Amino acid sequence: MSSLRWSTAKRHAYSWVQQADQLYVATRFLYWKGFWMEFALFGAHVMELYLKAYLIYKTGKYPLTHEIDRIYEACIEYDDFFKDESLSKHFLSTEKTWASYSHALRYPESLPHQPKPGGIGLIFGVGGTHQTLDCIAHFVRGTVPRPAGHVDVIDELINSDGRRWMMYSPENLPEIRELFLRDNPYFSSSLPFDNQSTK
């Protein structure tokens, strides 16, 4: 495998977290509405953003690739969290990883040297699970500090008036909030968030 090329980040790591957060909320909405293929595609992109945010926080740089298995592998150097087999198997095993599904679902045919995985998992997007995505989001949000003046968009959705979200679809705000919290062990309107503002 060729070595990764890296680029110096121009913005604070938390800016990457903010964008990931917004897409994370939308991705969970897709999952509970039964759009599993779209969930798998957007979920892969959300995890790419979170993982790159983590690497920017640790190194000031991010790898110039969309291959989330390789980005995940780069994260292992910095924290044992990423070595947990129950999590890493979704990225580093030989088949049915997030990377393999995102490649398979992105186009109507297989790309060269990227065989299309089969079975029911293809329909449901890596087994139809959101737990991996939830786990990555929780860890990165709890690790990358939020600078003063930056809005926590998920905290705003859950614990305040959700103004940022209302401008998109005010009539759907209660459902967006409910589907984000559904079966999500890491986020709750009754618990404080891990990621506190820092100067």
DSSP calls for 47-62: HHHHHHHHHHHHHSEE
Which residue do the tokens 């979170």 mark? 50
Q: Token digits for 48?
A: 């790419």
Q: Is residue 183 part of a domain?
A: no
Q: Is residue 144 part of a domain?
A: yes
Q: What are phi and psi of 197, to 5 degrees?
A: -65, 135
What is the domain extent for residue 144? Answer: 9-153
Residue pair 17/141 in contact by the 8 Å Cβ criterion: yes
Strands 197-198 and 61-63, how do they pair?
A: unpaired
pTM greater than 0.85 (yes/no): no
Q: Is residue 189 part of a domain?
A: no
**Distance between CA 39 and CA 130 in Å, rounded?**
9
**Distance between CA 166 and CA 171 in Å, rounded?**
8
pLDDT in tens, the chain (199 residues): 458 889 988 889 999 999 999 999 999 999 899 888 888 888 889 999 999 999 999 999 999 888 888 899 999 999 999 998 888 887 876 556 767 666 666 666 665 555 554 444 444 444 447 888 999 999 999 999 999 988 898 988 888 776 777 666 677 888 888 999 999 989 876 544 444 444 3
Strands 197-198 and 146-147, how do they pair?
A: parallel
Q: Is residue 119 part of a domain?
A: yes
Q: Is residue 194 part of a domain?
A: no
pLDDT for 198: 41
**Distance between CA 57 and CA 10 in Å, rounded?**
12
**Distance between CA 198 and CA 112 in Å, rounded?**
46
CATH code assigned at 19: 1.20.120.330
Q: Is residue 39 part of a domain?
A: yes
Q: Is residue 185 part of a domain?
A: no
Residue pair 79/59 in contact by the 8 Å Cβ criterion: no
Q: Is residue 4 part of a domain?
A: no
Specify the number of domains making up the chain.
1
